[in-house]
Amino acid sequence: MSVTIVSSLIFANKRKAMQLFPKRLTIVWNEWELRVMVLISLCLQVVLILIGNWRKHSTSNKLRIVLWLAYLSADSVASVSLGILCNSEEDPEGDSQHPNSFIITAFWAPFLLLHLGGPDTITAYSLEDNELWLRHLLGLVVQVSVAVYVFLRAWSSKMLNFLAIPIFIVGVIKFGERTWVLRSASSEHFRDSMLQDPDPGPNYARYMEEYSSKRSEGFRVELGTFVEAPLVGNHLDPAAAIDSNQNASSLSRAYKFSETFKRLCADLILSFHDIVNSQSFFQTRSSEEAFEVIEFELGFLYDVFYTKAVLVYSGLGRILRCITLILTVVVFVAFLLEKKQAFKGVDVIITYILLGGAIILEMYSVVLLLSSDWTRLWLSRHHNVAVSLLYRLVSSIPLVKNKSWSNTIAQYNLITFCLKARPANCTFLKKDFFLNRLLERYRYRDLKGVSKELKNMIFEQLQQKSRSASNFVACKQLCARRGDWVLENEGCLDKLGWSIDEVEFDQSILLWHIATDICYHFDLNRNLNPDSNTNCEASKLLSNYMLYLLVMCPFMLPNGIGLIRFRDTCAEAEEFFKEKKIMKSETKEACTKLYNVCTDILPSKVKGDRSKSVLFDACRLAKALQSLKTEENWYNQKWELMSQVWVEMLSYAANQCRWGDHAQQLRRGGELLTHVWLLMAHLGLTEQFQISEGHVRAKLVVE
C-alpha cells in the first residue's frame, strides 16, 4: 500500500520533476515506463520460480543475493506498475491508428495481481515474513481495489475487457493463496494448529459421587488404575509394513514423523508414546537410513514454512491449480483469435509475453508439483501405473531437483585465518569499514561434503546414549553433556576435564579447535599419515565446522562471548606468528612453533584476565592429549577420543539451539547441526517431551 501512495505522490509532481530532464527523454520515458516495469515484474517472477526452491539444497551466497533482491523487488515493481496504470491517462491527442491503447494496457493489471501472488516455490524469504501476513492481507485489499479501478476506467464492452475477468480471478486466487499460506506459517497460527482439543479429563465429581454412594452402601471401595491406549491415528506404528522401495519407505516414514515432531517447531512437547514409537524405529536402523528420513522430514518442514506446499498439495490446492491453468490457457487462445488492429504492435507483443509467461510459469509449477516429494509420497501410497509413468517423465527434466539439503558443512580454521593475507581494502574505504570485515570473514570459509563415515560416527554415539539411558530422565541429563561423557568413559576426565567442565562452551570449542590442528600437524611431522585416519578426518571436519558456527552463526550456539574470545585469540596468534616470522600458508610450521612453547605456568597467571585469548591454553591441551599414553596404538585411540568429543560437542550445541534458528538455516542449504537436533529428538535425547509413561486413568474397584 505504501508503494502505491508513494507512486501517487510522485505522479502528482511528475510534470515539475520532468523539467529536470530533456523533453525528448521525458517523452520516451513516459511512453515506455509502464511497458518496462511490467516486463521487469515478469522477469522477477521467472527468477523466483526457477531458483526459489534451490536454496533448500544450495549454500551459494550469490544465489542468496539474487533471490533476496528478486524477492524484495518483485512486490515493489508490481505495486509501482499498478500505480502507473492508476495514474495513466488516455492519449489527449487521440491516436487515430490506435484509439484503444489504454484498454490493452489496463488488461495488464490482473497480470500484476498474479505477480503479487508469487510462485509456489517461495512465499517467505525468512520466517519473519510469515509474521507479516496481516500486511499482505491489507496489500491484497488495496492492490485488488486499484486493479479493479483501472479495469473499470478502461471498460468499453470490448472483447478484451471480458478477457480480463478470468485473469482477475487467477490473480486474486494467487494473491489470496500467498496470504493464506503466510498466515498458516506464522508462529501464532502454526502453534494453534498443533494444539489438540482441550481435555477436561475424567468427570471427577461423578467419580466421587459414585465412590461415596458405593461406600455408603457398605461396599469396600478401592482406587484402581488402568492405562488408556493411545490414539492410533496420532502415532506411528513401528511394525508397519515397509515398502519394497526403500526410498519411498523413508519418504513415508519421514512424513508421518514430521506430522508429529513438527510440534517441536511450535515449542510444544511430545508425548511419551511419540518418543517410544520414534525410538523403536531409529534404534534399529543404520545411519544411512536414519539420516535419509531426517533429510526428507526437514524437507517437508521447509516446504511448510517457506512455500505454498501446505495449500498446493491439498485437495483444494489441486482444484485451484486446474482452475488457474485452464483460465489462463482459455484467455491466451481467445486473445489469439481476437482482432488486434486497434492496438499498438508493441503492446500486443507485451500482452503475448505476459500470457505466454503466465502459462509457462503455471506449467512449470505443475512440473514441480508432479516431481516433488509430496507427489512421490502420494504415488507410494496409491501405486497408480499411469501416474507413475508421468512422474518418471517429469522428474527426468534437468531443471527439477529434489535434494532436501546441501549435504555439506562449512569450514573455518583459526590458524589459516591468522596466517593468510587480508583482502585488499578499497582505497576509498576505511580499514574497519563493516563491508570489508564481512567479506574478510566469508573469504576464509570453505565447504566440505558430509561423508557416510561422519554420519555413522554421529549416529552411533547418539544411539549408544539413547540405549544406555535407563529412563527418560536420564535421556534429558545426557543432553547436557558436552564432551565430559566421552572423557569419563575413556578415563580421561581428570586430565582433560578442565577443558570442558571448567570453561564456557565457546571457550571449549576454541581450545579443542586449536588443539586439534596442533595434534594433526604434530602427527604429520612424525610421518604418521593422519589423513588416512577416519577419526582424524572427522575431528578436523567437526573442529572447523564448530568454529564456523562460532564465528559466522553464533546465534546457533549457547550464549557467550565466543566472538570476543575468537578475536582476542586471533590477535595473539598474529602477534606470535609475526614475532616468529612465520610466512603465509605455513600452517605446519605455525603449529609446530605453538607446540614447542613452554606452558608450565598457566597463561592466565602471566597475562591476567583482560585478554580472553585461549591460544596457549589450547597448546596445553594439545600437549595433554599427546602425553596421555605412550603405547603405539595411542595414536588411533587419541583420534577416536577427539572425534567422539567433537561429536558430543556437536550434539550439545544442536540441542541448545532454538528451533527458530534451525529453521532460518533451512533456507540456506541446511545445517548438519539441524539434522543432529532432529535425530536427537527422535532418539529421545531432548527436553521437549512428557515424562509420564502412558495415559493413566482411575477406576473404582468394588468388593
**Could you report the per-residue pLDDT of 44-74, keeping only the tens digit for each?**
999 999 898 889 999 888 899 999 999 999 9
Using alpha carbons, select from 474, 480, 471 the residue that is nearest to residue 505.
480
Q: With a cut of 50, say whether residue 242 has pLDDT above it.
A: no
Q: In DSSP terms, which residues pair with 696 in a beta bridge?
A: 227
Percent of the residues in the chain that have a pLDDT greater than 90, as a whole number: 53
- What is the Cα–Cα distance from 42 to 484, expressed in whole angstroms? 57
At residue 553, the pLDDT reads 94
Retrieve residue 494's grid coordinates.
581428570
At residue 376, the pLDDT reads 81
Q: With a cut of 90, say whether residue 361 has pLDDT above it.
A: yes
- CB-hemisphere CA count at 13 Å for 64? 13
- Residue pair 450/291 in contact (Cβ under 8 Å)? The answer is no
- What is the Cα–Cα distance from 190 to 266, expressed in whole angstroms? 7
**Angle between the N-to-C axes of helices 287-306 and 672-682, in degrees from 0 to 180, rounded to the nearest 10:** 110
For residues 131-140, average pLDDT: 94
Q: Rounded to two decimals, what is the model's pTM? A: 0.88
Q: How confident is the model at residue 229 (pLDDT cuts 50, 70, 90)?
A: low
Q: With a cut of 60, say whether residue 452 has pLDDT above it.
A: yes
Around Cβ 25, how many Cβ atoms within 10 Å?
Answer: 10
Q: List all residues 6 or more positions away from 211 whose beta carbon is below 8 Å from its beta carbon.
A: 221, 700
Retrieve residue 331's grid coordinates.
484467455
For residues 181-196, average pLDDT: 90
- What is the Cα–Cα distance from 518 to 622, expressed in whole angstroms? 6
At residue 483, the pLDDT reads 93
* CA-based R_g, the chain, Å: 32
What is the helix (H) or strand (E) element at residue 576, kind and residue range?
helix 562-579
For residues 77-97, average pLDDT: 72
At residue 213, the pLDDT reads 78
At residue 184, the pLDDT reads 94
At residue 421, the pLDDT reads 52
DSSP 611: S
The phi and psi torsions of 701 (rounded to 5 degrees) equal: -110, 110
- Residue pair 674/457 in contact (Cβ under 8 Å)? The answer is no
Q: Which of 221-230, 352-361, 445-454, 572-581 has the lowest mean pLDDT?
A: 221-230
- What is the Cα–Cα distance from 404 to 53, expressed in whole angstroms? 10
At residue 426, the pLDDT reads 43
Q: Which of 87-101, 307-321, 390-404, 655-669 has the lowest mean pLDDT?
A: 87-101
Using alpha carbons, select from 289, 252, 256, 291 the residue that is nearest to residue 373.
252
Percent of the residues in the chain that have a pLDDT greater than 70, as a whole number: 82
For residues 206-214, average pLDDT: 75
At residue 272, the pLDDT reads 80
Tell me the per-residue pLDDT of 472-490, one tens digit each, with 9 for 90 and over. 778 888 888 999 999 999 8
At residue 240, the pLDDT reads 40
Q: With a cut of 90, say whether residue 648 has pLDDT above it.
A: yes
Q: With a cut of 70, say whether residue 221 has pLDDT above it.
A: no
The phi and psi torsions of 222 (rounded to 5 degrees) equal: -125, 160
Q: Which of 352-356, 499-503, 544-548, 607-611 has the lowest mean pLDDT?
A: 607-611
Phi/psi zone of residue 220: left (φ > 0), alpha (ψ -120 to 50 degrees), beta? Answer: beta
Tell me the per-residue pLDDT of 70-86, one tens digit each, with 9 for 90 and over. 999 999 999 999 999 88
Q: What is the pLDDT of the chain when averaged over all its residues?
A: 84
At residue 6, the pLDDT reads 46
